[in-house]
Amino acid sequence: MQIDHIGIAVKNMEEASATYEKLLGKPSYKTEVVDGQKVEAVFFEAGESKVELLAATTSDSVIASFIKKQGEGIHHLAFRVENLEKEIERLKKEGFELVHNIPRKGADNKRIVFLHPKKNHGVLVELCESIKP
Ligand code: ZN
């Protein structure tokens, strides 16, 4: 598995985008609102991987509650997989726990699932598979 992206929860997307644009030395390549997850996602390339800034679009968004509890910061680590169903099956057998059992449509044209942080030493892990055209 390769790291696809690191998701970072931010309060103010405008400010955070400006910061990461300066940090990475280039502008974001994509902005997307994911209604199902009530987030706005802004993507930056960082070599082979990406940085995904996430801001809540509603006060009941998971990102809003994350920030309320923990403040801004790293929200999840995402690994790219070739076959999501196969990996889900493998990881379930290994004792990992999924947050939702059915893959969802994520940002950046991906199908995603999250692995519960309690089995991953406190890290929310996303598995993502590119949706083939
Ligand atoms: Zn993500």
Provide the CATH number for the domain around residue 80. 3.10.180.10
Q: How far is the CA of 63 from the centre of ligand 1 (A)?
A: 12
Q: How far is the CA of 78 from the centre of ligand 1 (A)?
A: 6
Q: How far is the CA of 27 from the centre of ligand 1 (A)?
A: 19
Q: How far is the CA of 6 from the centre of ligand 1 (A)?
A: 7
pTM: 0.92
Q: How far is the CA of 97 from the centre of ligand 1 (A)?
A: 17
Cβ within 8 Å of residue 49, ≥6 positions away: 2, 3, 4, 5, 6
pLDDT value, residue 103: 93
Q: For the chain, what is the mean pLDDT? A: 94
Q: How far is the CA of 28 from the centre of ligand 1 (A)?
A: 15
Can you tell me the mean pLDDT for 20-25?
Answer: 98
Number of folded domains that form the chain: 1
Give percent above pLDDT 90 in the chain.
86
pLDDT value, residue 117: 93
The whole domain housing 7 covers: 2-130
| Cβ atoms of residues 55 and 39 within 8 Å | yes
Q: How far is the CA of 94 from the centre of ligand 1 (A)?
A: 22
- Residue 133 pLDDT exceeds 80: no
Q: Which residue has the tokens 């998971």?
A: 62
Identify the burial level of 54 via C-beta atoms within 10 angstroms of its C-beta, where 0-12 means exposed, 13-18 middle and 19 or more buried.
buried
User: Helical H runs in 40-105?
Assistant: 62-70, 84-93
SS3 (DSSP) at 35: helix
Can you tell me the mean pLDDT for 29-58?
Answer: 94
Q: 63-119 pLDDT, tens per residue?
A: 999 999 999 999 999 999 999 999 999 999 999 999 988 999 888 889 999 999 998
